[in-house]
Amino acid sequence: MDQQVWDDLRAMADESHQSVSGLLTEAISEYLARRRVRPAVMAHLEDSIEQNRRLGELLAR
């Protein structure tokens, strides 16, 4: 980890009265939640693709 990032992390932990481990756990959890596609979203996407399959085939010509 870059030294400046580590120093900033330690300072934030001190300022917020949290552990570095706690901050890292929170940050990683938030990152994963943002990056992971929710199952409900994928289900809607798959339904939409199926419902519009014929249109997609026509447009692909």
- 3 state SS of 15: helix
Q: For 31-35, which contacts have Cβ atoms below 8 Å and span 24 or more sequence positions?
A: none
Could you give the CA distance from residue 30 to residue 49 in angstroms, rounded to a whole number?
29
Closest CA to 20 of 5, 9, 8: 9
Tell me what the mean pLDDT of segment 21-38 comes to. 91
Stretch 19-37: mean pLDDT, rounded?
92
Query: Greatest CA separation found in the chain?
Result: 61
Q: What pLDDT does residue 20 have?
A: 96
* Rounded Cα–Cα distance for residues 43 and 52 (Å): 14
Number of domains in the chain: 1
Structural domain that includes position 23: 3-60
pTM confidence score:
0.56
